[in-house]
Every structure is written in structure tokens, then in C-alpha cells.
Chains A and B, each alone.
Chain A
């Protein structure tokens, strides 16, 4: 922190770097973002003096020190982000928000979720297409930008505390360009009936864009909340979504967090969801990834206080040259917590999957019960998966299991269905769908579950994964 972070260099070199140049080297990569940061900063009107901006400055400094990770780092062994690193993405913070037709937004909304939906285009809140809904006393559902304007102190008590910038290059890059996102605050006892939908749309055709939405969800004790994050594009030129969501879960609070990543097939998506759970809280996280070219999705939860439970589910559906990497961490920091994790992949074409599931059971975390499963269905000979369960257990009175399977559809099941008159391809689709359904059925938000059913029926056809257009 506090490093004088190349502002001057940024200003002078800002326009000079050739954006179309491929293969920026490591120094040029960090210089590029520092320069963009400097440019943005220089256009600020007073904001550069705020505590928020100090946070950003520390973050860009942190990013400049580390740069993008390489496959030499254990955490990135299977996921080469060089194709991301060498593109000079322009942070969308100061770019104009492209105008969207109503139908471009509406097709991504849910008819069954009308009360609270926040629409973000290139990471920026779009009030005209959003609905904040009727809210119980003290509850806030708003854009992060407006929350910061209203009461920066309140927001900064939590912002970047749970997913700090020094966690890695991508959280740092996100924090450097924090501008907007969703802010949800639920005081003790607040229960939100209908799921809150956060819709992120990548749009426009100018420049390779860096989108850095930042979501902050803070709940008190005894709350109930479902959040649906969905990612889509009406844009076909290159972009990187680098999102961070932080969730603080109060005592006895129950949260469902669903994320559907359906980015453009040429897009890059790096997402971090960091959850901190207080006493006797329950979190169910369902993470569904179907889009993107290189995707790294991190879901981490800290079971900070006794008696909490988390369920982390994931489903990746990929084909072509897609790479979908899921990293999860469940940190059993204290006793009597349970965790259940099931991540599944359906891989076709020459697609690649990565699963890394860390479970830490700390010394004091007696009576931990943790179960992790990773299952992969390979629909083609060229698809591959790298899977790595990583259990680190420092307590003795615990129950921890993990298992991974990789394979094709079960011939006996296929034959059983065919022996009843069902076409071979239909039988295969039925079984593939059932494989996915295992995760989809865990989504309790009905309009989303219905949408996922349709989406998966479209994607899983004729015994294959079809690409999204």
C-alpha cells in the first residue's frame, strides 16, 4: 500500500500505448492499466481526495506490483490468462454507456421477478430499466454508486474488507476501478420475499472493454434474501468482465446466491464471490457457467462463527475452445459447521474444465462435517478436465469426504432408456440433462430454475453441447 503508483507515467503514456498491439509484455500490461487509472483519476472532480479513492489507489498499486498471474503459479497452473493479459482492455469507468433498446434488456429479465431488479450496462447502473421495489424499513437496495454518494462511510465499513485487493491480480484490478455495482443492506430481521435480480449486460462495439462491477451485500441477523446475478452480452467484440461480489451474512440469516454466467463466447469472465458467514447462518450458492471463452470463477466462504452451513453448487457447460475454471474455498474456521459442495461440468468439443476445491478445517473447527463432490461428463474425446480437491485439516474430530468422477454417459442407462422405445440421442440428452438437473434443482428461485431448464434444453441437444450465439 501507499506506493506512489506511477500516476505521472500514466498520464504521459496514456494515449501513447497502441491498443491494437498484441503481446504486451508484463511491464506494458501493468503500465497500461496504471495509465488508464491515471487518466480516469485526472478527470475526477474532487473524488480523488475521498477514502474510496485511496482504496482504489492502493488496489492499482497492488495490481502493478503483481501483474497478471502466470501458469507457474500453483493457483493458475491450468488456466493460462495470457490471452487476457495481452489485450489492452479499456476500463469502462469513464466510457459512455451505450444506449440499449428495451427489448435488449427485457429478454434477460424474468417475468416472475419484477419487484427488485437492477440493470447494469458495462458495469454501470441503468435506472430507467431497473426497479428497486417496495422495501421494508431500513432495507437498501440501490446502486453502489448511489450508496457511495449517499454515505461513503457506511459503504467503506465493508467494501473490500472481505475480498481485499491484495487477494490477487483480478480482485486488485477490480478494486482499482470500483465505480458501480449493486449495494444491498438488510438490517436485523429484514426478509425480502422476492429474489433480487442483478443483471449485467455487456454492450457497445468500441474498444476491448474492461468491466469491473462491484457488488456489496450486507445482512444483519435473522434476514432472508435471494440474489440472482446474471451476465449477458449484446456485444460481440472483446471484453473482460472482472467482477467481485462480497456478502456478509449475519447471525441466523439465510441467503441464496445464484450466479448465471452466460457471457458472449468470445468474452472473458473472471469472477470472485467472497462470503463471510456469522453464527448459525445458511448460504446456498449456485454457480452456473455456460458462456465465455476463458472463465475463472471463484466462490469462497468463510464459516467464521459456529453452527453455520454452506452449500456450494456449480455447473459448467462448455464446448468449442472454452475454458471454464471453478475455484472454491470453504474455510471452516470454527466448530460445528457443515458444508456441502457439488460442482459438475459437461464438456464437449475441445473445451476444458478446471475444478479446484479447497476445504480448510482449522484447529478449532471440531465437529466439522464437509462433503465435496466433483463430477464431469465428457461428451467428446478432446474435452478435458483438471480436477484437484484440496483438503487441509487441522482438527481431529471432523468428517470430511471428497470424491471426483470423470466419464461418459453410462451405457447401461442409455440402453435401459432405449429398450423402452426412446431414441438413442433422446436418451443421451435425457441423461445429460439429468446430470445437469442435479445442480439446477438446487436453485430455489423458481423463475430462474425455469429459465435454466429452457437454457439447458437449448444447449444440450443431439447428444452434444451446442454453442451459444
Chain B
């Protein structure tokens, strides 16, 4: 579904991603872990089409097409979804209006009928129940004055409504209370299927108890320095990241 090869990207001449290669097939869940500032969000932003980052090298194939050629909105319409680490507040734009516009843009692209107000409302009702999203948040401006946890929940709610093929969740678990974490995880698990793939960026093994990944990758200083199965996450929880650094350095110098 997604195939990243030797991806280099940065901002104003500073390289942040230094050669990332990663393959994700439909039906898989990948977890990306790594220290602060290692480039996890940058990777997610580049995949979503954030123009502030320049890609200097490498390719990204998504469902057989060159992802880097597509605008952010085209990527979204092709089924890519990024749950932001820091969702932005948009005063004056109601959550509902925003989401309806987005959904209908995507449906139009897929050749589906646009939903009218009644159909949309029914869908929203169903999906907001799924992520136990407070109805009052729906009519408020996008993320404005939302608590940290409410913002994260809103991201998952949007994901549930837009029904993406490839979801990138950037630290969606941070700032969630225990109940919210379980709810978000359930939401993600419902999305999980043969046709979909999920990339979870997280610092905590805890989330991975709820959403069990097929692969865990460690991103350090712009490179994937280690990949493994779900047990790798437990190891990281126990031992931190330094040992990997030592391991790669000793491998490098050997």
C-alpha cells in the first residue's frame, strides 16, 4: 500500500529525515517509536503533504502512484489520513460544516453521491457514538477551546467519518485519560481491516496493549534504526533508546 524508499526531507536546508525506507501492506498495523525530535512528526507531515518540508531525495509510492506528486487534498481523497499530534484550532468554522465539506469532497472524488444534511447527521451520530464524542463538541468551531484530550478524540472522530485507507496517528494517545485511550483504541481497531493500514506514532507501550501492532520501528535522528515485532516495544519500554544507539554505533564501527 505504502512504500517509502530512502526518503530525505528537511526544512530550510536542515535535513530532518535522513534516508527512511519503510513498506506497509494493507491489513498491517505499524508502530513508530523514537525519542523526541527524531523526526516522527516530520515523516507524518511529509506523507500528508505539508509543503513547508522539502523532499530532497527518495520516493514514496502509495497504491502504485507517486504520493509526492499529489496535493494534500488529493492524498486525503485517495484515503490518506493524518491525525495530528497538535491539531490546530480554527475559530469560526464549525466542526460539522468542516467535516461535511471534507467528506463530500472525498465522496465526490470516489464517484459517490454527496450526502445531504440528513444523511450526514445520521452518519455523524453513529460515528460520534463509536468514539463517544460529546455532541456539544460537534457544533463548536473546529478544536477551538477543546481540551487536549478532546482534540485527540476529535481527530479520531474525523477519521471514523472519513474512513481512510491509510491512517497515520501521531501520538494520538498522548494526553488521553485511561477511558479515552480505550475508546480511541477501539475506534482504531474498528477501522482495522484487510483493506486498511494504520501507522501509530507513540511513545508508550500502553497503547500497543490495546492496538497490537504487526511491526514496531524505531526512528532515531531521522533514520529507522531498528524494526521488529510487538515485543520490541516492550523492550524499549524497559530499556529506553540508548542501547540501540550503542548497538548501531558498534555495528557501524565493526
Contacts and interface: CB of A to CB of B under 8 A. Distances in A.
A426 B101 contact: yes
A416 B87 contact: yes
A394 interface: no
Nearest to A426: B101
Using C-beta atoms within 8 Å of the partner chain, give the interface range for chain A.
20 to 34
A434 B75 CA distance: 25
Contacts of B87: 416
Interface stretch (B23-31, B61-69, B91-99, B188-196): B91-99
A434 B90 contact: yes
Given A419-B48, A424-B71, A435 B76 contact: no
Most buried by B among A412, A420, A422, A434: A420
Interface string A412-438: 110111111111101100110111011
B102 interface: yes
B98 A430 contact: yes
A413 B86 CA distance: 12
A151 interface: no
B72 A419 contact: yes
A427 B73 CA distance: 10
Contacts of A416: 84, 87-88, 90, 142
B48 A417 contact: no
Contacts of A415: 49-51, 72
A417 B98 contact: yes
Contacts of B109: 421
A137 interface: no
Interface string B42-83: 000000111110000000000000000001110111000110
A99 B16 CA distance: 71
A464 to B, nearest CB: 19
B52 A423 contact: no
A411 interface: yes
Contacts of A422: 73, 98, 101-102, 105
Using C-beta atoms within 8 Å of the partner chain, give the interface range for chain B.
20 to 34
Contact of A412 (B88, B101, B105): B88
Contacts of B99: 420
Contact of B76 (A410, A418, A431, A437): A418
B128 interface: no
Contacts of A410: 88
B90 A421 contact: no
B92 A438 contact: yes
Most buried by A among B52, B77, B102: B102
B131 to A, nearest CB: 16
A107 B98 CA distance: 31
Interface string A161-179: 0000000000000000000
B191 to A, nearest CB: 16
Contact of A411 (B52, B82, B106): B52
A10 to B, nearest CB: 53
Nearest to A433: B92
Contact of B98 (A420, A423, A437, A438): A420
Contacts of A438: 91-92
A83 to B, nearest CB: 35
Contact of B93 (A418, A421, A434): A434
A433 B101 CA distance: 14
A396 to B, nearest CB: 33
A431 B90 contact: yes
Interface string A374-395: 0000000000000000000000
Nearest to B109: A421
Contacts of B166: none
A460 B90 CA distance: 18
Contacts of B220: none
B162 interface: yes
B90 A417 contact: yes
A430 B48 CA distance: 20
B158 interface: yes
Contacts of A411: 52
A421 B106 contact: yes
Nearest to A440: B92
B70 to A, nearest CB: 11
A200 B122 CA distance: 45
Given A415-B50, A426-B101, A430-B98, A420 B76 contact: yes
A418 B73 contact: yes
Nearest to A418: B72
B152 to A, nearest CB: 14
A448 B50 CA distance: 39
Given A416-B88, A431-B90, A421 B49 contact: no
Contact of A431 (B51, B72, B81, B93): B93
A421 B90 CA distance: 16
B168 to A, nearest CB: 10
Interface in A123-143: none
Nearest to A411: B52
Interface string B155-192: 00010001000000000000000000000000000000
Contacts of B101: 422, 426, 430
Given A416-B90, A434-B92, A437-B92, A421 B105 contact: yes
A412 B88 CA distance: 7
Contact of B158 (A420, A433, A434, A435): A420
B71 to A, nearest CB: 7
B88 A421 contact: no
Contact of B73 (A413, A424, A430, A431): A424
A431 B71 CA distance: 19
12 contacts: A412-B88, A413-B88, A416-B87, A417-B98, A418-B76, A419-B81, A420-B99, A420-B102, A423-B105, A426-B101, A426-B105, A430-B101
Given A420-B158, A434-B92, 9 more contacts: A415-B72, A416-B87, A416-B90, A417-B98, A420-B98, A422-B98, A422-B101, A433-B92, A434-B93
Interface of A: 410-413, 415-424, 426-427, 430-431, 433-435, 437-438
